């Protein structure tokens, strides 16, 4: 059986040290949203159909008009060299080995070009934070475009950093050079977070969408009216996300925010969701509720921390095997055919 590392494992904290472990595992405030991201999947029941021929299964989906063999996407996560010496090269190799779409964080400790090399022909998107110094953001977009990233994921839930008490306690510093500051000294997360442009508005999104030369996906939308504005602003996709519980505590879990957003804009743009995904049946539930794909964050990161590229790959392989098994047991051999008839509310336990 594949290891299922979790954030509370003592040995993981010993492996990474309290600063990096707290940064990766932690959430905002009392970490209620962090916990609810996991609980929300468990509140949803699956309704299997019996006596369906499930001898052949298809996990495929379509994202930005391109066929994908399955709906699992590796989420953008910052500073991965603090999880393992391979850093982003390890998680990218795991994504390439499992045909998973990879999203590189703009807070990467490996250059976008080197990650593109590790991915080879595998699909990749680039995540962008818009910084007060716009030239820094525009340079990153240019580098991503040159390295063959196919879409720009603009994260819109980070005008300022969430209230993260673990980082305040440990004083975690990013010791590795980052793409933004390749030869600079180690920076505290507070210094890095201060670069974000808190004055960003919908008009700026239009400017980046025009300049990007690639489709734009907005990450961090939780309200249907914002989803409608995203569509009006020309977004090709929306990631329904609370940033892994790291920004505003007590927001809805992504999967709980998804249904009204599907009602508002479903069918007009691609919809992705994240937060707390650790099981193939979580992915099936997201698709049944109307998502086209699912991002997986910490679950992959713990695999990377434990076992480098192989560890991250094992996590992704198990998730995909669980999804395949779920399709069979649900009596829905084609992931595209999952719909609301396969899910309901769990009333107990």
Catalytic machinery residues? 243
Tell me how far CA of residue 42 lies from CA of 14, 26, 74, 122, 189, in angstroms.
29, 21, 21, 32, 33
Site for ligand FMN contains 107 (CB under 6 A): yes
Handedness of CA 261, 226, 191, 92 (dihedral sign): positive
Count of C-beta atoms within a 10 Å radius of residue 13: 15
Site for ligand FMN contains 100 (CB under 6 A): no
Site for ligand FMN contains 19 (CB under 6 A): no
CB of 24 to ligand FMN, least distance (A): 4
Instruction: Kindly identify the residues of this chain, within the stretch 33-52, that bind ligand FMN according to CB under 6 A.
Output: 37
CB under 6 A: which stretch of 1-9, 184-192, 274-282, 323-331 binds ligand FMN?
274-282
Which position's Cβ is nearest ligand FMN? 297
Among 28, 78, 95, 320, binds ligand FMN (CB under 6 A): 78
Among 61, 100, 110, 155, binds ligand FMN (CB under 6 A): 155
CB of 278 to ligand FMN, least distance (A): 8
- Quote the CA–CA distance of 283 and 277 in Å, as a whole number: 7
- Quote the CA–CA distance of 174 and 70 in Å, as a whole number: 34
Site for ligand FMN contains 276 (CB under 6 A): yes
Site for ligand FMN contains 219 (CB under 6 A): yes
The values of phi and psi at residue 239, to 5°, are -105, 110
CB of 77 to ligand FMN, least distance (A): 4
Site for ligand FMN contains 200 (CB under 6 A): no
The values of phi and psi at residue 268, to 5°, are -95, -20
Helix (H, G, I), strand (E, B) or coil at 100: coil
The pair of structure tokens assigned to 24 is: 């990766």
* Tokens 């934070």 belong to residue: 129
- Quote the CA–CA distance of 54 and 195 in Å, as a whole number: 51
CB under 6 A: which stretch of 69-77, 132-140, 171-179, 188-196 binds ligand FMN?
69-77
At CA 202, angle to CA 198 and CA 203, rounded to 5?
100
Site for ligand FMN contains 251 (CB under 6 A): no
* Tokens 């110094």 belong to residue: 133
Site for ligand FMN contains 87 (CB under 6 A): no
Helix (H, G, I), strand (E, B) or coil at 236: coil
* Tokens 């950093």 belong to residue: 161
Please answer whether residues 244 and 27 qualify as being in contact, where contact means their C-beta atoms are separated by less than 8 angstroms. yes
Residue 76 vs 237, nearer CB to ligand FMN: 76
Site for ligand FMN contains 298 (CB under 6 A): yes
Site for ligand FMN contains 12 (CB under 6 A): no
Distance of CA 74 to the CA centre of its chain: 6
CB under 6 A: which stretch of 49-57, 240-248, 322-330, 332-340 binds ligand FMN?
240-248
Site for ligand FMN contains 274 (CB under 6 A): yes
The pair of structure tokens assigned to 235 is: 């977004």
Residue 78 vs 227, nearer CB to ligand FMN: 78
Count of C-beta atoms within a 10 Å radius of residue 161: 16
Site for ligand FMN contains 244 (CB under 6 A): yes
- Quote the CA–CA distance of 318 and 306 in Å, as a whole number: 15
Site for ligand FMN contains 24 (CB under 6 A): yes
Among 44, 73, 77, 271, binds ligand FMN (CB under 6 A): 77
How many positions of this chain bind ligand FMN (CB under 6 A)?
A: 24
CB under 6 A: which stretch of 111-119, 164-172, 175-183, 293-301 binds ligand FMN?
293-301
The pair of structure tokens assigned to 251 is: 């927001």
Residue 220 vs 307, nearer CB to ligand FMN: 220
At CA 186, angle to CA 184 and CA 189, rounded to 5?
115
Residues forming contacts to ligand FMN in the complex (CB under 6 A) are 24, 37, 75-78, 105, 107, 127, 155, 219, 241, 243-244, 246, 274-277, 295-299
């Amino acid at each position: 059986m594949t290891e299922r590392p979790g954030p509370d494992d003592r040995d993981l904290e010993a492996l990474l040290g309290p600063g990096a472990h707290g940064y990766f595992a932690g959430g905002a405030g009392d970490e209620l949203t962090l916990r609810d991201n996991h609980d929300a999947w468990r509140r949803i029941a699956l309704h299997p159909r019996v006596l369906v021929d499930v001898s052949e299964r298809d996990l495929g989906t379509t994202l930005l008009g391109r066929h994908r063999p399955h709906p699992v996407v590796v989420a953008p996560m910052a500073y991965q060299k603090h999880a393992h010496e391979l850093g982003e090269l390890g998680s990218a190799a795991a994504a390439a080995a499992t045909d998973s779409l990879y999203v590189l964080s703009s807070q990467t400790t490996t250059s976008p070009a080197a990650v593109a090399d590790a991915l080879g022909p595998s699909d990749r998107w680039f995540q962008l934070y818009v910084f007060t110094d716009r030239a820094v953001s525009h340079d990153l977009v240019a580098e991503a475009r040159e390295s063959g990233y196919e879409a720009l994921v603009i994260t819109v839930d980070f005008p300022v950093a969430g209230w993260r008490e673990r980082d305040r306690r440990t004083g975690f510093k990013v010791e590795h050079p980052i793409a933004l500051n390749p030869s600079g000294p180690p920076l505290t997360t507070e210094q890095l977070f201060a670069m974000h442009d808190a004055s960003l508005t919908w008009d700026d999104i239009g400017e980046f969408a025009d300049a990007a030369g690639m489709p734009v996906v907005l990450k961090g939308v939780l309200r249907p009216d914002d989803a409608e504005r995203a569509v009006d602003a020309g977004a090709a996709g929306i990631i329904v996300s609370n940033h892994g519980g790291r920004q505003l505590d007590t927001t809805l879990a992504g999967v709980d925010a998804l249904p009204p957003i599907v009602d508002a804009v479903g069918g007009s743009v691609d919809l992705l969701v994240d937060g707390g995904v650790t099981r193939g049946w979580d992915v099936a539930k997201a698709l049944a509720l109307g998502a086209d794909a699912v991002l997986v964050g910490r679950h992959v990161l713990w695999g990377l921390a434990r076992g480098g590229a192989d560890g991250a790959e094992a996590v992704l392989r198990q998730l995909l095997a669980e999804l395949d098994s779920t399709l069979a047991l649900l009596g829905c051999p084609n992931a595209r055919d999952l719909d609301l008839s396969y899910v309901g509310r769990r009333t107990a336990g």
